[in-house]
């Protein structure tokens, strides 16, 4: 049994000063007031009144530390990506595979299975972003990889035994029956890179679709008489919306409007991060396309956005600065809300008894000073 004492803890009820957090075997036992050293507990650290936050969860993470998951669908690749993002507060993540061939998808799924089995810190499952997308909204995805969903693809997509699987597809490029089958097999189905109409989106949600990948980006725009998929995502309480809060993917005004319009508390932060995050090298390749980080955004030679150079603590701070949300809500958008989206709120996303001991310690200047995953700590230079 271990304890962190004298912390300003962000609990489900808000900040509480002078708290002690006790955990054992990677699970929180109690959160109690005062500099308490429980019987039989080893005090790991007096946190000196600094903020202790729940760990961040990123459900769309293409790469980091110089690694693109597509190029390195291995346990070591996943480990490198996770370590790169952990220093920015991400303690739970879904390695995300951009549209690729079936054999690469199979290797990626096997790698995630092995990573979870071997206990690689933070891995929660896999996100397959494509290749079942609309060529009219391909973005940086290679449309030559796009395909329809048949029995073999269904079996592959629902084959992960350990962890969760998220699928991003274009609803108009498949059928409600296929969406229903995926949902019934436990897959979290999202819409993205799509020209779906409002009616297509509602029909897909009726069949089990629950998520919208990087809201606004690579989606049919709203019009007065053709509201499209974005209106359905914001209006329907079944829809969970990921947003990239970097100031490049979506204008801040549109994100503010989305937060005001969305029915329910169901907009959460993602990074859509690329290999440049946590790496000194600020260029990389996707297939034959060279991507460079320019003015804080990842772009191709013709200026097409190609994922982001965003990390989670920056996304949280951006939300506070630009989206008219307070710090507590911004942290919820990076922790409790994605945990609810993936239906893991009974394990992740907060600091209370019974949840996994995943924490972030912030320095006084709001940099990530230390993280814990399942109670295991890693420290960082606060200048990072």
Positions annotated as catalytic residues are 272
> Residues with Cβ < 8 Å from 28, sequence gap 6 or more?
21, 22, 351, 352, 353, 354, 355, 356, 357
**Dihedral (CA of 174, 339, 67, 106) sign:** negative
Contact of 213 with 192, CB cutoff 8 Å: yes
The CB-based long-range contact list for 103-109 (8 Å cut-off, 24+ gap) reads 104/70, 104/73, 105/156, 105/157, 106/156, 107/73, 107/74, 108/69, 108/70, 108/73, 109/156, 109/159, 109/160, 109/165
> Residues with Cβ < 8 Å from 166, sequence gap 6 or more?
59, 94, 125, 126, 127, 128, 187, 188, 190, 211, 342
Written as six digits, the tokens of 113 are 């299975």
Place of tokens 């029995």: 151
Written as six digits, the tokens of 322 are 């630009």
Written as six digits, the tokens of 196 are 């779906």
Return the number of other C-beta atoms located less than 10 Å from residue 41's C-beta.
18
| Distance (Å, whole) CA 84 – CA 115 | 16
Q: Which of 24, 25, 19, 26 is nearest to 4 (CA)?
A: 19
């Amino acid at each position: 049994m271990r304890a962190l004492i004298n912390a300003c803890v962000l609990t489900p009820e808000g900040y509480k000063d002078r708290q002690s957090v006790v955990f054992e075997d990677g699970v929180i036992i109690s959160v109690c007031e005062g500099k308490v050293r429980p019987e039989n507990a080893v005090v790991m650290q007096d946190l000196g009144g600094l903020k202790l936050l729940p760990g961040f969860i990123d459900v769309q993470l293409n790469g980091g530390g110089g690694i693109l998951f597509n190029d390195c669908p291995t346990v070591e690749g996943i480990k490198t990506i996770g370590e790169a993002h952990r220093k920015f507060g991400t303690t739970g993540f879904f390695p995300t595979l951009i549209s690729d061939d079936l054999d690469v998808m199979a290797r990626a799924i096997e790698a995630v299975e092995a990573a979870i089995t071997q206990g690689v810190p933070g891995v929660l499952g896999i996100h397959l972003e494509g290749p079942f997308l609309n060529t009219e909204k391909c973005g940086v995805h290679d449309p030559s990889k796009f395909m329809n969903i048949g029995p073999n693809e269904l079996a592959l997509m629902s084959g992960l035994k350990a962890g969760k699987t998220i699928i991003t597809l274009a609803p108009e490029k498949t059928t409600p029956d296929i969406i229903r089958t995926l949902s019934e097999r436990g897959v979290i189905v999202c819409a993205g890179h799509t020209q779906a109409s409002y009616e297509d989106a509602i029909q897909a949600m009726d069949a089990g679709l629950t998520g919208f990948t990087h809201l606004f980006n690579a989606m049919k725009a709203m019009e007065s008489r053709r509201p499209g998929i974005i209106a359905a995502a914001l209006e329907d309480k079944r829809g969970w919306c990921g947003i990239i809060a970097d100031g490049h993917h979506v204008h801040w005004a549109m994100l503010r409007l989305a937060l005001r319009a969305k029915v329910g508390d169901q907009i959460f932060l993602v990074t859509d991060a690329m290999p440049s995050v946590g790496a000194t090298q600020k260029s990389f390749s996707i297939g034959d396309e060279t991507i460079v980080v320019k003015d804080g955004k990842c772009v191709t030679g013709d200026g097409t956005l190609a994922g982001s150079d965003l990390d989670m603590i920056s996304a949280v701070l951006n939300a506070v600065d630009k989206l008219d949300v307070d710090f507590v809500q911004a942290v919820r958008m990076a922790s409790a809300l994605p945990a609810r989206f993936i239906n893991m709120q009974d394990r992740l996303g907060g600091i209370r008894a019974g949840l996994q001991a995943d924490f972030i310690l912030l320095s006084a200047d709001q940099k990530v000073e230390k993280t814990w995953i399942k109670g295991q700590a890693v420290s960082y230079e606060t200048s990072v």
